[in-house]
Structure 1
Amino acid sequence: MGDSQMDVDVSLETPVPDVFIAPSIKQDLLHSGSSYTHFSAVPPTLQSKPKGDPTQDPQPGPACALGVDEAGRGPVLGPMVYGLFYLPLPLSDPLLRETHHFDDSKVLTPAVRSNLMEKLCTPESDLYTQCGWAVEVMSARDIGANMMKPTSTYNLNAQAMDATIGLIHGVFKQGVNVKEIYIDTIGNPSTYQKKLEKIFPTAKVTVAKKADSLYPCVSAASVCAKVTRDAALEVLYESYVEPTKEEQDEEMGNTRAPVEPGWGSGYPSDARCTTWLKRNMDPVFGWGSEARFSWGTVKDLLDAKEIAANVEWPVDGDESSRLTSYFGAEKDKDSDELGSWFGQSIEVVF
């Protein structure tokens, strides 16, 4: 249980202030710390067509390529998001690479990612009419709770694999004719691929390292995941935002510039993130559901005596920790301790 130590470009990982708020952003669920799934509507061009004979199964829609990728595996703040994207096989390169220039979300600027996601959600766009997408938003609270279970720990790889499988199952249930599946690997590619081939035997499965750079549908999935996470970070931060110094001073006729707010990218290597954690830490409860309590960064801050409250628990077997000690002075050894909880009996004389 610890933070990802990979180097990240903080400027590329930090959301733009006006990031596009996609339909995958469920504000109430985000603020409550809940995980959830969002599926876009299947475009009419990809839906199965009924046959003339009502007793026969519908004619499947066009063969589609499907890609899956994640965003936010390493951060200490915010959700981890798995994104899925699908479209007709012949359109993969022409539409995604040549027309709209999709690429691994980690090499696209936050503004470019946001614009691509907005096009995908705009009804007049060719992306909207030809493609479908979905995300699994795995909240920081649930990630931490699963990783810190006292028994049968549900580690991050297992959580990620279940999210991937659940998303793909969801698209099949919508009737999409998925024939090729491309996934950025978790662990050993061949082991992961064999597992998925057994689960989805009707599709060709390819699991590879750097799949988000190799396959356009995986690149598009990474954009869906990253922009959803970017927007989720902004929504979660809003609950901490107070009127800026500029806003307060406007009422007093003063125009001093405010201190720049925000918690940055959410990565432990981001100074804005760690500074925010230190400044906004409750000495007893730590933070809200936006923080991953199973991460080393959080654990270290909670263990730091100069920041967190020092809590001393009674030693096992210490008689002073008995529940009955809170109900009055110590009783004689021969007294009926349990019987006296609700007062003592008295003799009534008539």
Structure 2
Amino acid sequence: MKMWRVGLDEAGRGPCLGPLVVGLCAVPINDVALLVEAGVKDSKDLSIKKRRELVDWYKQQMDSREWKYVVNICSPQRIDAALSKDGLNILEVDLFAECLNSLSQQLSENVSILADACDVNPQRFTDRIIARIRNWPWQQSEMDSIHKADSIDPVVGMSSIFAKVTRDEMIEEISQQVGFSVGSGYPSDPNTQKILGQLVTSPLPHSELRWSWATIKNKWMEKYETPPPIRNESINVQKTLF
């Protein structure tokens, strides 16, 4: 029985607009070197063009090498609901666990899992994820979480690339939907700041905004001089699991 390396990372924790995306990649341990040879690294260190090329290249290997990937897309509505309850860290624990539960339906061989920790306490992050795995399916397997794993481990790096490319594609779709560029979605992006006023409109802010973010609340207050509406607590779980 061969051993697989599994990596997980996220993209879009900080933006005030658009989804939070978690990516998972799984390759046999003996294939990890192929990722390095292809130029896989932390998605932040790669151009948009290179990230997309690597996603296409990875998908081309899936039939012959049986590589796996999972992408979990979390809507702004679910993010707002989570912030009103358990918080962003627990939401990310849930999203990472959902990816692993999806993988468990595809892969029964032993795995070595590494996640990019989304908690100041990496062990706590690991323990919380493991507690959410249904009937831990992998014998003689292990999981660990560390900070900046995407810059250390190529499988986590590939996961970060999938997450980033998916989020970028969805931001492009939002721009097409509203009829103008929304920038990156980050509060620090001048292009995003410039268009927020057009998306913060009565009676409700645009559905792709994170209403609970301070940036959105402040923009609403500037425009209407009243607290913004509270998003309906019903959770619209938007996910794509491959």
The bucket for the TM-score relative to the shorter chain is 0.7 to 0.9
In the TM superposition, 1:112-261 aligns within 5 A as 112-121=50-59, 125-126=60-61, 129-130=64-65, 131-148=67-84, 153-187=85-119, 188-196=121-129, 199=133, 200=136, 202=139, 203-241=141-179, 261=180
Q: Whole-Å Cα distance in 2 between the matches of residues 233 and 133 of structure 1?
A: 21
Matches within 5 A, 1:10-89: 62-89=2-29
Relative contact order, higher structure (CA 8 A, sep 6+): 2
Other-structure match for 1:255: none
Aligned to 2:6, the other structure's residue is in SS state strand
Q: CA deviation at 1:195?
A: 4.2
Question: 1:302: how far off?
Answer: 1.1
Q: How many equivalent residue pairs?
A: 220
Larger Rg: 1
Output the CA distance in 1 between the equivalents of 2:110 and 2:164.
Answer: 23
Q: Which runs of structure 1 show a deviation greater than 6 angstroms over 4 or more consecutive aligned residues?
A: none
Structure-2 residue corresponding to 1:105:
43
Q: Please tell me whether the aligned partners of residues 51 and 161 of structure 2 are also in contact (alpha carbons under 8 angstroms).
A: yes
TM-score scaled by length of structure 2: 0.84
Q: Which amino acid aligns with 1:268?
A: P
Amino acid corresponding to residue 169 of structure 1 in structure 2: N
RMSD: 1.9
**CA separation of 1:274 and 1:178: change in aligned 2, threshold 3 A:** farther
CA 1:128 to 1:235, structure 2 compared with 1: closer, same or farther past 3 Å?
farther
Identity of aligned residues (%): 30
Secondary structure of 1:102's counterpart equals: coil
Query: Quick check: 1:69–1:222 contact (8 Å CA) kept in 2?
Result: yes
**What CA deviation, in whole Å up to 9, does each residue of 1:287-326 have, x standing for no partner?**
2x2100010000001112xx22759xxxxxxxxxxxxxxx
Distance 1:120 1:293, change over 3 A: same
Distance change (3 Å), C-alpha of 1:79 and 1:166 = same
Checking the alignment, whether the CA contact within 8 Å between 2:72 and 2:99 is kept in structure 1 is yes
- For structure 1, the residue ranges without an aligned partner over 5 or more in a row are 1-59, 242-260, 312-350
CA contact (8 A) 1:284 1:308 kept: no
- Comparing 134-143 and 187-196, the one that deviates more: 187-196
Query: Contact conserved, 1:68 with 1:183, CA < 8 A, in 2?
Result: yes
Please give the secondary structure, in 1, of the residue aligned with 2:208.
Answer: coil
8 Å contact kept, 2:97–2:130: no
1:274 counterpart residue number: 193
3-state DSSP class of the match of 2:203? coil
Cα pair 1:186 1:192 within 8 Å, conserved: yes
Distance 1:87 1:141, change over 3 A: same
Cα distance in 1, alignment partners of residues 178 and 128 from structure 2: 42
Q: TM-score when scaled to structure 1?
A: 0.59
Q: Report SS of the residue matched to 1:113.
A: helix
Q: Give the whole-Å Cα distance in 2 for the aligned partners of 1:145 and 1:190.
A: 25
CA distance in structure 1 between the aligned counterparts of 2:110 and 2:193, rounded to whole angstroms: 43
Instruction: Measure, in 1, the Cα distance between the counterparts of 2:80 and 2:64.
Output: 38
Partners of 1:197 and 1:204 within 8 A in 2: no
